[in-house]
Amino acid sequence: MNRIYAAIIVFCIPGLFSNAMADTFVVPLSVSGSYMTGDKIPFDIDLGVELLEVLEVKFYCKGTVTAGLDYWGNPFSWMFQAWMPASPGYWIADGTSAGESTWPAPEAFEGESLFRDLLHPTWDFLLDGGASGWVELSDVMSIPEYPPSKLPAGTIESASITIIAKTDRSIPAFSPFGIILISVIFTPVIIILRETQVIINAAGSEIR
């Protein structure tokens, strides 16, 4: 019976070929309370770390909405929004629309949505780890001749903003062990198995 010897080259250098990974920051917002249409509560964000690149920003909101009534007395759902001025432009996230299906009782809602752009903003203002904005129960737009007979109202139980971004700390650094291994990057670790002798080099070629 032939004996097999396999030699497998293993390079274990943490972070050597890794790209920057993303960190996730969840920031609770102190915006709980009761709102009438157009009411706003401001918030501030301080991540305590600078960002290299902002990948995604989301708004989470949980609460209730009491539907408004249009000019003819029909209930309509409404929603909260989060705003962040970007100079120029704004980032806006819409909460879950609610209220109509349970009118005249308030309807509970919970949801998360991505911020959308208005007037071509960028996330550059967030790269220093700080930002400000506000949460509001959105204004109702209507034809002046047919205004709503009753405006919506709502409450927020909890809200937060989630920021997914690349930072210095999310880029793996060389460890002393990894640097030492670089000097012997072409030195194989030979693992002896059984049956036939097979040598697999670092390029993946096979010599029999």
Chunk the chain into consecutive blocks of 10 residues (it has 208) and report each block's average pLDDT, rounded to whole numbers.
37 42 96 98 97 98 98 98 96 98 99 98 97 97 93 99 92 49 44 43 44
DSSP state for residue 104 in the 8-state scheme: T
pTM of the model: 0.73
- Tens-digit pLDDT profile for residues 185-208: 444 444 434 444 444 444 444 444
- Tens-digit pLDDT profile for residues 60-82: 999 999 999 999 999 999 999 99
Q: Are 77 and 67 in contact (CB under 8 A)?
A: yes
CA dist., res. 160 & res. 172, Å (int): 28
CATH code, 22-170: 2.60.120
Residue 119 DSSP SS3 = coil
What residue ranges do the domains of the chain occupy? 5-15+172-207, 22-170
The token pair that represents 151 in the structure block: 């405006």
CA dist., res. 74 & res. 146, Å (int): 12
The token pair that represents 141 in the structure block: 């737009």
Helix (H) or strand (E) holding 181: helix 176-182
Residue 188 main-chain phi, psi, to 5 deg: -80, 150
The token pair that represents 171 in the structure block: 């880029």
Tell me the one-letter amino acid at 99.
G
